Structure 1
Amino acid sequence: MKKRKEVGDSLFANQYPHFQKGRILKREMLENLRDYPREFLDLYFQDYSNGIIAGVNIIVADASVIITKGIIKHNGKLYVLHSSYELPYEATGNETILKVRFAEEVNDSDFTNYTTDIVLDHSIELAHNELELARFKLKLGAKLRSEHIDFLDFATEYNTVNYLHCQYAGLQKSTYHPIILHYFARELLKNRPSNPYDIAFALECINQERVQRDAINFYICNRLELDYQTLSNSQIHKYLNRILVESKGGGRMTGQNKGRPKRMIVD
């Protein structure tokens, strides 16, 4: 599938100059040092997992998806997309994964280059050098959309950009995409919840740049009185939706049924 981009645009990249005795100091090398505060960024995000650091949202055009500028992390290195990138798509009726594919480092006399490609792939398996940004399943004759109606809509199977399996960077381990959590929090607070877990977690989702995965797991398990365990992205959406349904009906308060046996989640 042919890719389209504007002149001067580039894909995610990581480039740093080589300052060596006897070499000519080039303007591009100094500009690279000026424009990329590498040490600060590396230190700030050193404890983050692989995944999206900032930006990298998906916008749907007539016949292409647009990946907005942003930062991602892979194998300890930050990659910056300096301008939006446009990628044509087709309706196949099959699961299509929007992936970033990382190339091996390339050294030349001036730079060490870490580059990427952005692809649409029908394989749901991720290779060691791939990162999922989103996925969709588009029926023939249908239009793809990136705007969601409500929280449940993020799990719509067809014709909708799906962020559920996106890898979003968190401390030590990847976490859930904040776009999904913002939808959840807004819907939950509109129901005027009385459960203290609901209020605290919803405000955290709205107020914070990202919510760490451990906080999400603890909230869901405590709120639904489940034995603690690490939840998959699909499980997180399923149980957050259950909480929304309970809150609309004046759901029970955690701790009211102290004799209630604990439950285990089966994916």
Structure 2
Amino acid sequence: MKLNFRPNFEKGLILKQYMLEALRDYPESYIELLYSNMGDGIITGLEISVVGESIFCIKPGIVKNQDKVYIFQGRTNLEFSEGERYVYLKIKEEKQIDGIKYKMDIIQTEQETEEFLEIFRYIKNAKMKEYTNINELFLENRPTNRIDTSYSKQSIEGGNTVRKEYFILYARKIIEKPNATIRDVAFAYECMNGIYNIEILKSYFETEQLDNETIFQLMKKRLSELELTLEKKEVQMPEKSKTRKTIIS
């Protein structure tokens, strides 16, 4: 039986090794247990903003990579580079005599790689901004000068999915549709509040395959279905016949 121990630090007590071990192990065990059922990806944070004309600011966050949870504490400023770039969180473990040192850096490269955890990518030749319309993601040639997190993974219960900002953009489009079903609207409000479980996506999209590319294809398909149904309804709606006036003399 493994017993938990919470140390009591009071004045006059002698600091012992097992007290320090408990102080080390308790938070680590709690974090591992808290996120044990979640997939690899960004759990929270690591939002990107643009500062001035040439700087990305990447905020702190929590990520899960290869089943390990890491806390990225540093706010990082990253200078724009011209052309196509990929931005990753590089995690490196260094074993030392007194423990394991975790080094985390934000790096940008000219080449795509699966070695590190992707945060975003971009192609710069003008002013940078975020996606504001989900339809931009459905274009064969996407617009440049966007903070593109569509290849990044959001960690949720049971797996991972696309970042939450894209579900919000999708939800806004759904709510605009007057012919959206109750099921669509319910899912849209779920998107606004945040998708936290993979089973919600499996149920709504009716598929087990939920990689980022498939999710965007299914979003596009559903919005197209609603648009097509609405167009047919408008065409088939008969014009109201004019009532013939009767004159009584």
Task: Return the TM-score normalized by structure 2.
Answer: 0.73
- Higher fraction of helix: 2
C-alpha distance in structure 1 between counterparts of 2:136 and 2:196, whole Å: 21
Map of 2:215 onto structure 1 = 236
Shift of 1:185: 0.9
Pairwise CA distance, 1:171: 2.6
User: 1:177 Cα shift?
Assistant: 1.0
Q: 1:178 Cα shift?
A: 0.9
Larger Rg computed on CA atoms: 2
Shift of residue 107, structure 1, vs aligned partner: 2.1
- CA distance in 1 between counterparts of 2:69 and 2:181 reads 39
Q: Does 1:74 align with 2:79?
A: no
**Hey, what's the Cα distance between the residues in 2 that align with 1:195 and 1:38?**
44
Shift of 1:194: 3.9
The structure 1 residue matched to 2:187, chosen from 194, 201, 221, is: 201
How big is the alpha-carbon RMSD for the aligned residues of Structure 1 and Structure 2? Answer: 2.9
Distance 1:211 1:45 in 2: 12
Structure 2 counterparts to residues 1-267 of structure 1, below 5 A: 33=23, 37-61=27-51, 62-92=53-83, 94=84, 96-109=85-98, 111-127=99-115, 130-139=116-125, 142-146=126-130, 148-154=131-137, 156-208=142-194, 210-221=195-206, 228-248=207-227, 250-251=229-230
CA distance in 1, matches of 2:69, 2:180: 41
1:116 is paired with a residue whose SS is strand
CA distance in 2, matches of 1:45, 1:88: 32
What is the CA distance between 1:167 and its match in structure 2?
Answer: 1.5
State, as a whole percentage, how many aligned pairs show the same letter: 23
Letter in 2 for 1:81: F
Distance in 1 between the 2:196 and 2:78 partners? 30
Deviation at 1:184, TM superposition (A): 0.8
| C-alpha distance in 1 between matches for 2:191 and 2:39 | 19
Question: Would you identify which runs of 4 or more consecutive aligned residues in structure 1 move more than 4 Å?
Answer: 248-252
Judging changes above 3 Å, is the alpha-carbon distance between structure 1 residues 42 and 113 closer, same or farther for their aligned structure 2 residues?
same
Q: CA deviation at 1:250?
A: 4.4
Which letter does structure 1 place at the counterpart of 2:219? L
Residue 79 (structure 1) shift: 1.6
Q: How far is the alpha carbon of 1:131 from its aligned partner? A: 0.5
Q: CA deviation at 1:108?
A: 3.8
After TM superposition, the structure 1 stretch with the greater mean CA deviation from structure 2, 38-47 or 48-57, is 38-47
Q: TM-score with structure 1 length normalisation? A: 0.68
Q: In structure 2, give the amino acid aligned to 1:235.
A: T
Letter in 1 for 2:107: V
Gaps of 5+ in 2: 1-14, 232-249
Render the CA deviation track for 1:157-206: whole Å, top value 9, x for unaligned. Answer: 41101111102112342222111101111221132444233122112212
